[in-house]
Amino acid sequence: MLTTDDDILVHAETWKRSGKGVAVATVVDTWGSAPRPVGSQLVVDQDGNFLGSVSGGCVEGDVITEGLDIIEAGGSKLLEFGVADETAWRVGLSCGGKIRILVQRID
């Protein structure tokens, strides 16, 4: 199923109301070339089911892992991804941009 920014939040609400733990990730800042604009969102449930995107697929894996942690621990977390860090090759943005992503649990 192809989803748009407009209906992933509807799915997030449905998941939460069905008793699942859910986290929302939102792109809050981008620098340079970034594949998804500020405001783009990804939602993930406790089982790792996810909808939406925050990049061209480069960092989704890490964002989902952080989302699962947040579902456990609660609160919110600000993540930063870029290419400046040598160790970032695993989840770096191949496009050369930098993004900041807010991950929050739905309570």
Partner 1 sequence: MRLEHLAVLNQERAARRAVLLVTDLASGQQRLVKGDDVAADPLADILADRLRLGKSGTVEQEGRSLFINVHVPPVRLVVIGAVHVSQALAELARTVGIDVIIIDPRTAFATSERFPSTRVIAAWPEEVLPDLNLDRFSALAVLTHDPKIDDPALIAGLRSACFYIGALGSRKTHAARCGRLAARQFSDDDLARIHAPIGLDIGAVSPAEIAVSILGEIILALRRKPTRAEATQSEPVG
CB of 29 to partner 1, least distance (A): 6
Binding string, 86-105, against partner 1, x = CB under 8 A?
A: ----------------x-xx
In this structure, are residues 41 and 8 in contact, taking their beta carbons and an 8 Å threshold?
yes
Of the ranges 46-54, 59-67, 73-81, 85-93, which one interacts with partner 1 (CB under 8 A)? 73-81
Among 1, 18, 19, 39, binds partner 1 (CB under 8 A): 39
- Whichever of 10 and 65 has its CB closer to partner 1, that residue is 10
Exposed e or buried b per residue across 50-74, where buried means at least 16 C-beta atoms within 10 angstroms of its C-beta: bbbbbbeebbbeebbebbbebbeee
- Whichever of 38 and 94 has its CB closer to partner 1, that residue is 38
Q: Is residue 69 part of the contact set for partner 1 (CB under 8 A)?
A: no
Residues contributing to the site for partner 1 (CB under 8 A): 2, 4-6, 9-10, 12-13, 16-17, 24, 26, 28-29, 37-39, 75-76, 78, 102, 104-107
